[in-house]
Structure 1
């Protein structure tokens, strides 16, 4: 909602005179502050008069599980990263003004993990098992206007193991209170699509569902204004319509945009549709819908097109946790992560394996990332280490959950495809398997006919889906791994549109995409390391291009040489002598006495590379056409390793590695000098252990103590170590491979925040960040 509010302020600056004499009954109130929380199962906590005075005061979003402790015996197991489970209760007292009587009041949850139940003034409103779905309850019949009201929420995470990755626990996404007129636009009731798009003209279709909860039929006017990114009204559409008492009506309007600013990769050009429901000249409700003008399509022989341009989808799968933040992830964290991934050539995200928070899609819209929006990891068949997951609820809930996901997400410009399953273990070689897939796809097509549907097939040959007709139902054939099987499936039937929905980091997987025009793209597993799916003592799955604090691994440097157009060259070495151990991007062995021969891999998209050790050339080699690295075996010497990439004999890229001395000091580097007093704005402060020349010590694991003062607060401390069980919520944490991360949020209105880092035997360092006040008010639109 923050982004939509900002966009609306742009609209108001242009058309404020139009609204100055009008009033609107829609009011959206941020409902995140001042909740009471208790980790216990207290049945009486749903009642109006329950005494919660001793409960903990928390603000939302809130993930209580990330506070730990991590324990091998926790029932969440390897999937949940051995974090605790349990039942959490939340309560919030609030008042509704008498002036709101006669209006409709709703509470919107962006996600509660999991098996949530909600009460208002002791009245049970409903239950939602799926922790990733957004949902709404109407409060109107049970409210006390001019008096105290109580919302109570129970989140039950005791049935474990429930997930193959860390989910978080509690009300871990935002909550809003929405007040509307009796006649209003339905939740997710506006759908904007762009049926025909070109550089010269775009046709816009706006479908709006208006609800009349009053006792009488009403003639309303739906006024829709198309507004560009600068706040200029491009077109006004006006429709008169009678809406029956207690009923609804779907209104369709058409518009055209001349010479549109197209949404594209890395070009987050966005428009808004401002929908006003009017009773005569009075605005009684209005809604803002942000959309992009673009065209997506798949062609069987040539893959994926955006705006009539053929490209490869270079995607990564992501889980939703933010490392030490758990499931509570401010958008500044995602923005930093997405920028790091973009630098590697990534242009697409798969939300594996569930819907993300709505503001994540807004961010992808703005940044120009493609998104595959995925609904479920399981249907009815369970998966190992997640036997008590969504498989228990799929049959009763898939239709409602799918409907809510699609209605919520269908206006995001970034979403180019829906996926309805990941490595589904239900029998797809059966009528029942066919029906489950088709029912979901048909529902999505009915709600959003503009995007194709796929799924991540699992060992498709063993399920016979390439021969039994199953994949012929799919809009796009998606397959996880076994790239050669997907290539063969297309050759078996060239009419199939094919896409790698989950792929490894291997060169063979990349060549399957690079060398086959019909392969639309692939999604690597994964973009970033994530909590869970790890065997004790590890608590983190480490298949990311980046570790969980954003550190680039060797595979990320290689990927950049394959996926970016800019000239690059990078050197990495085997960590132990004579070709053993991991690949690391440094020139500082752990044991200088036993490290004699360094095995190098050079990643480059240049024509040739040359390696220098302490200024002496180690030879020139051509970069192979088969995307394999250039290899050197060198006798190790302390000093500087330099690698140069050349095109047509001229230097195009350079990369240096320098041997580090003994740890000498801490160096703090903040990613911004000032931040807003806003939940989504945080500052990342990297802590490096360096030698006396400022060279990072890649083998350092010093324990760092952090002291914060002023207007900020420590949200999390983290590092890239898979087996570090220390709390991310304390004030001290070790660095890993010489680096750590502190994430700082704003504590109070404005002022300076100082972060100091100290460690025994090292020179300390500190940084200062300015916090700026952001005025907050009830959001009336």
Structure 2
């Protein structure tokens, strides 16, 4: 055994130093032609697309608008356009790729996509959220240009209860493979033993031999840590017959591993290769984490032996002004805000997300509930012509592709197979629909549990008819008292809140019940759609579309953050009328004299000051409720001081603002690579002569960019605004608006200018960098 191990290590070292002839992955995002509308014959190579719009992917044409109450997407799709869109691209394959297997990988096309290469139809995928791969080897040429054509049909509406976007809105890749290679998504890495002293890493993989001869092949995996240091290696040798596949099971040990957790999400890389002699035929890089995650009936969720409450939010896949084609940096900034609010979990509501979204969850330390569908066969209001039309024929393929694609992400701790499903769950037919999905996921990813977001379980009877007994973890939307009662009647059930509102008693249900594993608030960010005209956006988020804190976000931070928190809010109108706002500038100073003030804080005590005079000290309530003051309004400064054990640990203050006098610009980053996923979100804030933000200002701000950049989108977070997102101006809302800027050259200076009538211009400089 020792000699065999030594031989294997020698083979691994030889493989890593051998000539690299493995898979070639090329971005397929650039140089597409696009046409909005149907185009007869556009799949044919002879079709003339010279008049079509030239663009790069990802691309969501629906977000381009305009808003119209008559648009068939209606309230679900946010009154944005739907229809058919065509994409065409010419590409050339090098002679070095002749004899290789050529595939095209789509991360998602919205929706009902058909794909052709050189006039040959490759297939159709109804579900716009699914990633899929087509083998184009039989249809491509290596001695002349090739044409790929994609038709995305969103014309049948209403197809969703929330905004979907339209077109090839995610990344696309062209992959060239040697005839002997790994089958798609077959490399599967698990860590059945995960302690600080030992990590056992298991690697499963499937290799296909498309040649006409059998051969002996070595499958090996080397594991490196975040610094690139090799920490383990393993391998196996098998003979694979011509035209056949072979499954491989490897195991490696990592000594004293760094465990993936929420605070330090340590990641490793497994490079799995298939070699013949010294030639590397294929390799797959898999990022993974060594960690143990489990749910317990009595105590909820555990990560690496630590009992943790999942403080989660639901997120839809749109990024506000950018629609469904979301640059990764938009998610980076959103995740930073969620972290600040104390959020540690994300539910992908209610569909598969982009691969890079999950990569980011891995890197930033969020646990994820990965969800498949919003509907099974029963339709829902405002989405009657959605996935319910395709579930019966496609659920297995779509579930399989999502799980196989996603299962290596350490962030994923739970799968969900449905949200508020309206199919009957009272009979064997309903039971089978759930059981089939759960069994498939268990087959593909045995280490993770399955749930679904149950809809009014006491009404549907699923707590009493045996349905809930099948679930690995019982998930329920809202009605926390029902879930509490269900667990106390069935203490062997593992339970989690799959969708929850922002009110205090729902937080207490999580805080005070040890068995409650977690909850997912509806929602983390405001999202497009699911709104009644003239509103275009569902506004139940902790943050608005533009990334501004909302009242419920401020309060949630006081409940969920581990850092000292104090926030001041007041009722916007006199004597307790209106909404909660975080400022000290009434819209009408003359009629505002009685201010109802609340302080959100996790500090032992809070003292409130108005123009330097104390308005009293209040201790933290046992039930985490806000601390209330009723004070006479005075123009000036209101300040709240939070203390722990008598020592000041945090404070917040607001000052009454005058008229807007200048524009202040701030940027999320000042260096940008010329890629789709890098952007800078520039915020323009109107302030008075003393630099105090003007929260009631709604003036029009105009933007201009010169040099090596461009404006991708603008926004202000106003759910009533029907302004275009792809524009160079925006009205301020609550005193500010944003522009999303990207580089359009590899190097150079980007000069950003903001102007408003009657005020001096504001300028900010960014750099385009390689």
Tell me how far 1:19 sits from its aligned partner. 4.6
Pairing 1:449–2:441 present: no
Provide the residue aligned with 2:132 in structure 1.
135
Do the aligned residues in 1 keep the contact of 2:15 with 2:280 (CA within 8 Å)?
no
Partner SS, residue 108 of structure 1:
strand
Partner SS, residue 557 of structure 1:
helix
CA distance in 2, matches of 1:128, 1:640: 58
Larger mean Cα displacement after TM superposition, 657-666 or 17-26 = 17-26
Q: How does 1:163-242 map to 2 (within 5 A)?
A: 163-242=160-239
What is the TM-score when the length of structure 2 is the normalising length? 0.98
1:732-760 CA distances to partner (integer Å, 9 max, x unpaired)? 11010001111111111111101100011
CA distance in 2, matches of 1:761, 1:624: 48
Q: How does 1:499-518 map to 2 (within 5 A)?
A: 499-518=496-515
Pairing 1:26–2:23 present: yes
Provide the residue aligned with 1:319 in structure 2.
316
Provide the residue aligned with 2:306 in structure 1.
309
Q: How does 1:576-587 map to 2 (within 5 A)?
A: 576-587=573-584
Pairing 1:725–2:722 present: yes
Q: Which runs of 5+ in 1 are unaligned?
A: 1-14, 774-781
Tell me how far 1:673 sits from its aligned partner. 2.2
Larger mean Cα displacement after TM superposition, 62-71 or 219-228 = 219-228
Using a 3 Å threshold, how does the CA distance of structure 1 residues 589 and 150 change in structure 2: closer, same or farther? same
Provide the residue aligned with 1:377 in structure 2.
374
Partner SS, residue 46 of structure 1:
coil
Pairing 1:541–2:552 present: no
Provide the residue aligned with 2:88 in structure 1.
91
Larger mean Cα displacement after TM superposition, 22-31 or 289-298 = 22-31
Do the aligned residues in 1 keep the contact of 2:15 with 2:278 (CA within 8 Å)?
no
Partner SS, residue 179 of structure 1:
strand
CA distance in 2, matches of 1:16, 1:734: 61
Q: How does 1:7-86 map to 2 (within 5 A)?
A: 19=16, 21-86=18-83
Aligned-residue CA RMSD (Å): 1.1
Provide the residue aligned with 1:672 in structure 2.
669
CA distance in 2, matches of 1:33, 1:542: 35
Q: How does 1:517-528 map to 2 (within 5 A)?
A: 517-528=514-525
Provide the residue aligned with 2:686 in structure 1.
689
CA distance in 1, matches of 2:33, 2:441: 38
Q: 2:362 aligned to 362, 365, 373, which one?
A: 365
Provide the residue aligned with 1:11 in structure 2.
none
CA distance in 2, matches of 1:659, 1:757: 24
Provide the residue aligned with 2:3 in structure 1.
none
Partner SS, residue 333 of structure 1:
helix
Tell me how far 1:23 sits from its aligned partner. 2.8
Tell me how far 1:596 sits from its aligned partner. 1.2
Provide the residue aligned with 1:268 in structure 2.
265
Do the aligned residues in 1 keep the contact of 2:15 with 2:275 (CA within 8 Å)?
no
1:69-98 CA distances to partner (integer Å, 9 max, x unpaired)? 110000000111100011000000011122
1:634-685 CA distances to partner (integer Å, 9 max, x unpaired)? 1111000011111222212211011010111111111222222222111111
**Moved runs in structure 1, 4+ residues, more than 6 A?**
15-18
Partner SS, residue 449 of structure 1:
coil
CA distance in 1, matches of 2:700, 2:392: 50
CA distance in 1, matches of 2:568, 2:655: 11
Pairing 1:575–2:572 present: yes
CA distance in 1, matches of 2:302, 2:344: 13
CA distance in 2, matches of 1:507, 1:166: 29
Q: How does 1:424-573 map to 2 (within 5 A)?
A: 424-573=421-570
Q: How does 1:334-345 map to 2 (within 5 A)?
A: 334-345=331-342
CA distance in 2, matches of 1:677, 1:91: 23
CA distance in 2, matches of 1:227, 1:279: 23
Number of equivalenced pairs: 759
Provide the residue aligned with 1:410 in structure 2.
407
Tell me how far 1:369 sits from its aligned partner. 0.8
CA distance in 2, matches of 1:221, 1:18: 9
Tell me how far 1:763 sits from its aligned partner. 2.2
Q: Which runs of 5+ in 2 are unaligned?
A: 1-11
CA distance in 1, matches of 2:14, 2:718: 56
Tell me how far 1:20 sits from its aligned partner. 5.2
Tell me how far 1:197 sits from its aligned partner. 1.2
Provide the residue aligned with 2:6 in structure 1.
none
CA distance in 1, matches of 2:385, 2:263: 40
1:351-403 CA distances to partner (integer Å, 9 max, x unpaired)? 00001000000011111111110000000001000001000000000000000
Q: 1:699 aligned to 677, 696, 704, which one?
A: 696
Do the aligned residues in 2 keep the contact of 1:106 with 1:138 (CA within 8 Å)?
yes
CA distance in 2, matches of 1:400, 1:97: 33
Tell me how far 1:268 sits from its aligned partner. 2.0
CA distance in 2, matches of 1:296, 1:747: 43
Provide the residue aligned with 1:103 in structure 2.
100
Do the aligned residues in 1 keep the contact of 2:686 with 2:694 (CA within 8 Å)?
yes
CA distance in 2, matches of 1:233, 1:629: 52
Tell me how far 1:623 sits from its aligned partner. 1.7
Provide the residue aligned with 2:8 in structure 1.
none
